[in-house]
Amino acid sequence: MALFASVASALVLGYSGVSPSAARGQRTAVSMVLDTPLVRIGTRGSPLALAQAYETQRLLKLAFPELCEEGAITINAMKSTGDMILDKALSEIGGKGLFTKELDVALLADQVDICVHSMKDVPTWLPDGTILPCNLEREDTRDVFISGKGKTIAELPNGSVIGSASLRRQSQILARNPTLKVVNFRGNVQTRLRKLASNEVDATLLALAGLKRMDMTQHLTSIIEWDEMLPAVAQGAIGIQCRSDDERSLKYLAGLNHHMTKIAVDCERSFLLTLDGNCKTPIAGQARMEGDELVLRGLIARPDGTKVYETSRRGSPADGIAMGKDAGEELKKLAGVDFFLELKAGMAA
C-alpha cells in the first residue's frame, strides 16, 4: 500500500519529488539541484511502470548514500507506442518493442541514464550501445484469474468470453476448453478491471506480480498454478537498462542486481531467442531454482490451442543460457518446420 501511495503522490508532484508549496518557496535552489541529477530514470507512465520506477529509486537510495540527496534521482515518465494503441493486439502492431522504443531513443540520446522495464516486455534484442545488466529480485511469476462468474477458468460456462491480449494465455486457455472465446483486451491494470466490471467480458487474466506491486491483490479471484497456465518468459521480473559505456550507471546497477533472478531470466530469454519468439508466437517459459539445480519449463503452441509442445531441463545455474538454447532447439525440432510456417501464414492472413 505504501508503494502504491508513493506512486500516486509522485503523479501529483510531477515526478520531481518536490511539493508545489516547497517549489514556490525554493524554486531557485531546487532548480540548481535538479539540473545535475546523478541518475535519471526513464519509465513508461502507467501506474505499474511508475511503481516499478519508484521501487528502483528506493533501492538505489538504500544502496548508495549519495543518491539520498534531494534531486540526485529524477524520474522521467513517457508514453510508449504500445500504451497509445489499445484497440489492436500487439501481434498486429509490431510486438514487444512498442513498449520500449521511446525509452531506447531517450537512453541513446542521453536524456535518461537508466530505463526500468517489465522484463516480459523487453525484446530479446537490445539497441547497439545499450545493455541490460540488472534484474531486481523477482516477484511471484504466476498469472491470476479474475471473474465474477467462476472461481477458476474450469468453472466458466462453455462459450464464456475471456479478455486477454496474450496469445500465450489464449493458446493455453483454448487447449483446455476450445468453447471459450478469447478477445483482445488491452490497457493498464486499472483499465482492464474497469472493462471487466462493465461486463465487456466474463473474465480476464493478469500477472500476479503487477497486482502485488500495486497492492491490488484484493481484485484477484484465484491464482493459476504453472501446470494450468505456464507464465510468460521473464514474467514477474524488473530489468534495468543503461548505455554500455556509462560506468556510473553500471556501478549503480551492479549494486542492485539480484544474481539468481538474472540467471533464471537469462535462461528463459535464451529459450525465447532460440525460438525467435515475439508477441506473435504463443511461447511460455519459466526457470527457477530447486535445491542446487536450475529447472526450466518451456512451451510453444498454436494460438488456437490445437497443438502444444512442451519441454523441461535441469542443470547447473552456470549453464542456464545453454539450457535455454537447448530447450528451444528441441521444441523447434518437435514442432517441425510446418508448425512455424503455419504461424507465419496466420500472421499474414
Task: Kindly list the catalytic residues.
Answer: 121
Cα distance from N-terminal residue to C-terminal residue, the chain: 45
Q: Which runs of E-coded beta strand occur in 176-326? A: 181-183, 203-207, 222-224, 238-243, 283-290, 293-301, 308-315
Within 8 A by CB and 6+ apart from 237, the residues are 118, 119, 120, 135, 136, 138, 139, 141, 261, 264, 265
Query: Can you tell me the distance from the alpha carbon of 303 to that of 288, in angstroms, rounded to the nearest whole number?
Result: 26
Within 8 A by CB and 6+ apart from 92, the residues are none
Query: Can you tell me the distance from the alpha carbon of 65 to that of 311, in angstroms, rounded to the nearest whole number?
Result: 46
What backbone phi and psi angles, to 5 degrees, belong to 62?
A: -65, -35
Nearest Cα neighbor of 146 from 87, 89, 205, 66 is 205
The strand pair at 130-135 and 181-183 is best described as unpaired
> The C-alpha cell of 316 is what?
547447473
> The C-alpha cell of 8 is what?
500516486
Query: Can you tell me the distance from the alpha carbon of 315 to that of 293, in angstroms, rounded to the nearest whole number?
Result: 5
Cβ proximity of 70 and 141 under 8 Å: no
